[in-house]
Structure 1
Amino acid sequence: MKLRWKIAIGVAVLAIAGLGYAGNYFYDYAVVPSEKDFLEGDTPGTDENQTGSEAQNWFTDAANREMWQLTSEDDLKLSAIYLPAEEKNQGKTAIIAHGYMGNAETMADYAKMYHDLGYNVLVPDARGHGQSEGDYIGFGWHERKDYLQWIDEILAKNGSEETITLYGISMGAATVMMTSGEDLPKNVTSIIEDCGYTNVNEELGYQLDQLFGLPAFPLMNVTSLVTKIRAGYFFGEA
């Protein structure tokens, strides 16, 4: 084999190995639930520093809440906080979705807003967040199936005539948008998305440029492939 071919093959092997390493690095950086140094505390639906506010005091009072759990289709134990309306038989429930690397405990203000309007309120921890199991973030794609189960849970416990509003902020907004594409029962009468992203590829590509000054191609493509292998979905699905 001529030297130039050996060099070309060596360069190609190194490039593939480098891209594989980069794909796994960015998967761990963005998709694995962990403390994120790039979050500045102003991401909607992630701020837990609300101690002392009226909403937070009400929200954390054990007398006002119940803990619900269910098992996802892929056998994860999922958790949610349920806050029943003060007046019984209101017949309406709001299910509230938090943002990226937030959790149910960050949603006191939103829960209080709906509760004051007479709703029962259910605030799930997304998979991989808070008290819910999971070793990856689905960016709303896998979570949409979990929300179908939470809807069924509401109907099972509150009755088949319950009306349901889905509300989500940031990644939670993307979650309820993706849930809207499923076969929903007629009980879901409104879906409110607050500052969700258009799709995962654009969101993560933007962050890749802002944080690292790197182009989306080919790193996003490689990271998406790694995500398919490790978490079961391509970014393009979301």
Structure 2
Amino acid sequence: MTELMVHVERVVRPVRAGPGRKMKMREELLAHLAAIYGEERARFGDDTLALRLAVQRFGDPAELTKELQATVPRVERFLMTPLPGTDWERRATRWSQPRPDESSLRHAARVAAVFAGFVLANICLIPVLRYASGVSWSALRIDPATAAVVTAHAFVSAMLCVGFIRATSGRLTRRSLLVAVACAAPLLAGGPVLLSALHALQSDNLLWVDLVHPEGKDHTLRVVASGLFWLVMCAVVCRFVFARYRRITEWTELEING
């Protein structure tokens, strides 16, 4: 019941503690409040009255917050003290999530565009830094066509990654598994394709010469194996970390004022 969760969140949110400890507090308090609500509802048969009486029996939120805060070790309390300007991380995390009424494709494109811009900035900046360290500019210069290929690869790969994450982070169904495979296959093939493109465009650039000139070693297999490893790791993270994150977000997104 959302009203019960809101009242519990009023108690827990001000507590300076780690996410795991606060989540445990929420679950325990919600179970306790739900039990009280069940008793009052069985007693009077009225949901509104039962909620009001349950909240009264539960106690004053400010006092409960103080009691919970006292149970948190001092070191953890100090580490969880909010600092000025730290709200940017929460805003950035919220930005990366799908917006209301936003299609999956548009969400993936929005995230991929930012990632592609980051990659483009890096492939423009890294040669400058290497040149400043004394490396010849002619060996580092990236042609516009090469930059476009790398940026496009980053954009498409990011879109596929978002699709893979969305497919594997929720309830696994036949459709979600098919979507995950459909995203994973081109992701794995994208690495060798990018290497081939770099070899055709600028094979002697020092930034990737060791990859496109294997010197008797087959780097294609290594690239595919590396991609497969990271996809498996991504799936594990999606199943466990993201599931926990969604549970926490369900609480932190509650409007507790009023």
Per the TM superposition, whether the score is higher than 0.5 is: no
Q: TM-score, normalised by structure 1?
A: 0.27
Q: TM-score, normalised by structure 2?
A: 0.25
Q: From the two aligned structures, give the one with the greater strand fraction.
A: 1
Q: From the two aligned structures, give the one with the greater helix fraction.
A: 2
